[in-house]
Structure 1
Amino acid sequence: MEALRALRPALNSSIIAAASWFHNATASSKRLHYAFHPESGRWEDRPCPIRDMGTAADLAVLQRHLADRRQFDEVIESTVQHYTGLLVQRGEGTSHPFCYLAAGRRGLGEGSSVAHSAMLLLGLAAWEGHPQQTERRRLMAQLAQGIVQQQRKDGSLQASAWGGVYAAPHCTRQLIAIPNLPPFRQIYFEPENHFDSGWQLYGGEAAYALAVAYGQLGDGRLLDAASHALWAYREMYQRDRVDQEELVFFANWQLQAAAAVHRHAAGDPDLRRGLAAYLRELQNDVIESRFFADVAAAPERQATVEVACALEGLVHCLQASLAQAASEQMGSGGAAAAESERHQVYADCALVAVRFLLEAQVKAAPGVPGASVGGFGHTQRAKSGQRVDVTGHVVCAFIKLLEILDQQAEE
């Protein structure tokens, strides 16, 4: 960990530079642009609701970390208000009302999925400045219930289309029926797409959002649903259903979700051990795929977003792994030595990713547009296409890493 501790000043400086970049990325409408292109000096605006909502959640995390905890309130509020205005309410008058984002031209402009609900839920959970806290909690509860509404009996989540108990001809597993909830028509479905299109990302995103929502709402059903989903996706992973080209992105959200459930399941040691095993299995597979070794050996060939997501998942895994080791009080035996060695491997991989990202961040220099400073280009060399979501991934990973270093310093 010593090499990472030595980078604390650089991490803090990078976060501050990214915050400045986000201010430049805010349009006059108080909404975020999509990306900046230094070669033309222009901001790009492109509809991408999942990244838009996800970045608003990242900004809430960022401003919580900074001294000025309200500096992004306007852009977060504008984004949250826009998407909450697209919510469809269902199940009013029942014990489990729920909501989801409307699809199509009058809504998102695309299909509605559990990922959309998850990103809005994460934004509401992270934003401290919501003017109506009771309304914030109500929306969180109903968005979470909308995700639970999509859970099948095996724990997996139907990625798109909301209904009561609904199964497509090619989807043999029915959704869990919510008691006293009337059936609703299918909301949106493109015939050429499978209901589970995107599950390798969406499942983990939704499970993570449910675990985060549990942390604020205290509804045990949400934590149960998140852990149930993780076991389903672990089984899919072990059956080689995850595209290896998507491994880093799959692992990022699965690791974040598993770490969040692990954090909240302090009273269930068996669940925590199972989650720790899944975290270890998945993270070790990413490492053994030589992803971090390739970043170290040929950084010029790596995509910034992939390295950022790899680091984001890794630091959540590291934090949970350290907590598990502390709870088991391993002492100084062989098990403790093996765990300490694993943590050092994780730290070494994190160091590779951090160094890559610090190098990839645009610095002030003659001829460099001021609006690009603090952002992250597509690669270390190609500074174009500085997307807001990529900078958000980096910032959240750096903040989590600093949190771990602070915890280690206190012990």
Structure 2
Amino acid sequence: MSTDKPTRKPGLWGRLFGGEAKPEPQDRKPDTEPDAHNVGPDAAPPEMQAEWVRAGHPNPPEAEPPVPVDVEVEPEAAPKSWIERLGAGLKRSSDNLTSSIGAVFIKKRLDETTLADLEDTLIAADLGIDTALAITERLRAEKFDKDVSAEDVRLALAEEVASVLAPVATPLEIDAGKKPFVILMVGVNGSGKTTTIGKLTAKFKAAGKSVLLAAGDTFRAAAVEQLQVWGQRNEVEVVTRPTGADASGLAFDAVARAQEEGTDIVIIDTAGRLQNRTELMDELEKIIRVIRKRDETAPHATLLTLDATTGQNALNQVEIFSQKAGVTGLVMTKLDGTARGGILVAIAKKFGLPIHYIGVGEAIGDLESFNADDFARAIAGTGGKD
């Protein structure tokens, strides 16, 4: 009788890259019960083995060692504060500005050449000519022909940006005397209107307000479905119509239903439209006229959502939408996806419209009321207070 130890076939690794068969341990117990951690051939049920063979593998891989049960799992990180999320969201804009400023101030003494370079840098960051001139004039008056550092410039930048933004940092006030309080959301394609509606709805619900949504983007079934998802998530009703239906009629019906049911707030979504499409802007005016047949004071707030990544084009959007739709306030979205966050400063300087909210991410908590000081510190890279 042979005394050779039984051998087992080499595993998948051995068959691919060579290797002799290993002797089978004599004291190994037969696999009578499958191990929960064992994915080898002996532990797999017959149907799994058959599936493996059908996939073209003659032999399943060797069993993986059991996962230790005493492995320590790192605790989840604490949720970030709004200041931390804002700083992270504006990091591209801040890094772009601070690196450019650092490149300008390679010498300590401030002269005309350095001021001219700084002015160009600030304009290139979409802060606007007026803001760029204000910062350079301030430095000229305080630091000309004196030692100046990049930190001095960042501090001056933060203070100037805060002074421009402070007058327009205005919370959205819901007038309880107007019931329902009608909010009309407008903006170009892809600016984040529908997502912003969902986030605002969550905030209003948390404040104890009842909300009704109107899916006014009747041209796109996907937009209606997206708003319905937000409605389900926030447990609010969404008024819809078939694709291609008249958006103004839907808005009218939504306001009428809210009046009958005593709803606090109605938020009306609209189709994204380019500001240079006259016929689409005329349709927006029609929606407003029809709403006023039900409530002559409505809409009580017309919010323009602006995609920060569009840069200077946002200025034109504000101008045209304000003329056609009577914009009362702004929501700036996607500040985390661009290095051009400075455009918000240029918009505030030129139009003086209230900035109600800014968004720096996709989560509900990434849309917050606008604070001028926090934004100024974040974009200038000078830190912020919690």
Would the TM-score normalized by the shorter structure come out above 0.5? Answer: no
Higher strand share: 2
TM-score scaled by length of structure 2? 0.27
Which structure would you say has the larger Rg?
A: 2
Higher helix share: 1
